[in-house]
A and B are shown apart, each in its own frame.
Chain A
Amino acid sequence: MNSRAHVVCGGLTFDEVPVELREKVAFRDAQLPDALREIKRMLGLREAVLVSTCNRVEYFGATTNPELAAHGWPEFLRHFHSVSDNFAALSFQMRDTACVEHLYAVASGLKSMVVGETEVFGQLKDAYDIAHSHQQTGKWLNRLFQSSFAAAKSVRTRTGITRGHVSVGSVSVELAEKIFGDLKKCRVMVIGAGDTGERTARSLQRHGVPTILVANRTFDRARELAAELGGEAVKWEDWEGHAIDADIMISSTSAPHYMLTREKLETLLHRRGRRPLFLIDLAVPRDFEPSINLLDDVYLYDIDDLQSIAHSHLRERQTEIARSLEILQPHVARYMAWAAQQRDAPETGGLTGDLVTA
């Protein structure tokens, strides 16, 4: 057995393993204390952190026997979750520099399904906090995780990796905030009870929109959606009257013709004053006449516009990956240099202070 200490990691990620398999071996927070004790025993780890999100199930550890850890991981999953699948071929395994680079890249959102998303940062922090609070980490993983958080912050502030939103709902929120600033005084009207419209309304609601009106041809469905959103249902024949007070209108009906023509809107605008109006047309065929966008103080976006912005943000984020990896390199080098210095340090917690740097 190699007596030198290694940091190791392995697991299942969204890009290699389908959700049907990942969901079988996901860990709930309440399971983590037991799972950490068990993984340390079965993989021969002296320190361990388990990360379980909707996109990845991974372990990070410190050990003197990386081969045992790599072989023990699939067995641990089968044993702990009482499943019969063979995860050996589907799992990745890394050690030392590769493992450090991997964690820093994950923390920075570079290996996320939506590149640059920041949720994974919080998930890693939570996973580390649980392991730390149950005394399952030591000097190797404490240093590794803390430096990964610093590295991720550096990437976030020095690159555009998190800039721009990448879903229709969040792009709509971003645009609304650039039009109105504070959304806490905005009134939203949802026309039609489609899924995308509902999701967009929810996104706006999460960002402070207090009032949501829902109009639908079927009043019961309008009432149902309004109840879910904590809003108010409006009768179909009355929606134009309520539109005068709306700041944001989201439409996703299946009407074969324009619901709102330029002529009709001009009349409405005359009655509502100079307040800006943000129109989100999620319907195909479209509900709002495109020439509406030529009117002053009116901002019209259809589904293609929103998706095109989301895609361009994603492309911009992907172009930032190389720059982000460059920023991570000095952080990786610092950790590995620190690890090399530990060779001369006395043993801590039974684990030799030696870490392989290659």
Chain B
Amino acid sequence: MHDHIWLFLATLGYLASAGWGLYALGSGRPLANWWTLSLILISFALHTVFLHQRGEAIGHCPITNLFETLAFFSWSLVLTYLVVGPAYRMSILGAFTAPVVFLINFFALATPVDAPSNLPHLGWQLELHATLALLGFGVLGVAALAGVAYLIQERQLKRHALTSWFYSLPNVGRLETVQENVLFWGFAIFSAGVVLGFFIPHSGPDDWVKIAWSGVVWSLYAVLVTVMALGWLSHKKTALLSVAGYVFILLTFWGINSLSEAHVFPHVS
């Protein structure tokens, strides 16, 4: 489809942001300046144009095949960064978000996963359920990236090995605050998406594969958020579990979706 060009250009922008971020972290140069912020904003705008055009073309929220789902998922990561970054003065998160977004988009563009689907009438509940679940994954992803930044900084402080990253990364106090707050919001949005899934009118048998997987993911995060709120876990273990939980999502989401018939639309033959 012609709309790929917008996603391709956005992906180039994310690649440039990722490259600069890694260079700045290694060399101790300032991460945030007007042009790096402009670059990520322009990339996000191009990314949004792609999703809008695709949504207009198919008449649905653009999450009807793996390609669109990947693009929407990476878009939600950038959106969360753009909300969290300025709110917490954490431009550093851009250096962690941009490489992940680039890799997701690269995978989407480089593999033949953009197959047109026969779309039934989805209904607003289904679209909202899927949108909230993917947005929740995006927010949980940024929480995991903040967790990675925390673990890097914590490790440097523990090992008394202060590299140039030590000066570029924020203090561990701020990283743990951001990581835990974003984790909480990600869990809340994901929970809303999961709950909405139970109210989708459908015919035929329930999709037990997806329900079981969602239940496991939701339970993992529910336990993590609860013990975090109760103060039973150290900041390090909270960050580690947040990252591990997200790795679990990334590794299992695609496989589970392919096994789950109700979450795959039949391809046009």
Contact = CB atoms under 8 A, between A and B. Distances in A.
Nearest to A185: B173
Interface string B187-202: 0000000000000000
A206 to B, nearest CB: 18
Interface string B157-199: 1101010001100111110000000000000000000000000
Given A296-B237, A297-B235, A309 B160 contact: yes
Interface in A171-211: 175, 177-181
A87 B160 CA distance: 46
A181 B162 CA distance: 17
Contacts of A312: 162
A259 to B, nearest CB: 21
Q: Classify chain A's interface size.
A: 20 to 34
A146 to B, nearest CB: 26
A297 to B, nearest CB: 5
B160 A301 contact: yes
B236 A296 contact: yes
B55 interface: no
Query: How would you classify the secondary structure of chain B's contact residues: helix, strand, loop or mixed?
Result: helix
Contacts of A178: 153, 157, 166, 171-172
A123 to B, nearest CB: 26
B85 interface: no
Contacts of A164: 162, 167
Contact of B157 (A160, A163, A179, A308): A179
Contacts of A163: 28, 167
The interface centre, meaning the residue of A276, A301, A308 with most chain B CB atoms within 10 A of its CB, is A276
B237 A179 contact: no
A228 B171 CA distance: 30
Contacts of A276: 172-173, 235
Contact of B171 (A180, A296, A308): A180
B111 interface: no
A297 B236 contact: yes
A15 B153 CA distance: 38
B173 A293 contact: no
Q: Which of B157, B166, B167, B237 has the most CB of A within 10 A?
A: B157
Contacts of B158: 293, 299
A316 B235 CA distance: 32
Contacts of A296: 234-237
Interface string B232-256: 0111110000000000000000000
Interface in A298-319: 299, 301, 305, 308-309, 312
B113 to A, nearest CB: 41
A350 interface: no
B231 interface: yes
Interface in A146-181: 160, 163-164, 175, 177-181
A-B complex: 4 closest residue pairs judged by Cβ atoms:
A296-B234, A181-B171, A181-B173, A296-B236
Interface of A: 160, 163-164, 175, 177-181, 273-274, 276, 293, 296-297, 299, 301, 305, 308-309, 312
Interface of B: 28, 153, 157-158, 160, 162, 166-167, 170-174, 231, 233-237
Given A276-B172, A297-B234, 14 more contacts: A160-B28, A164-B167, A177-B171, A178-B157, A178-B171, A179-B171, A179-B172, A179-B173, A180-B171, A181-B171, A274-B235, A296-B235, A297-B236, A299-B158
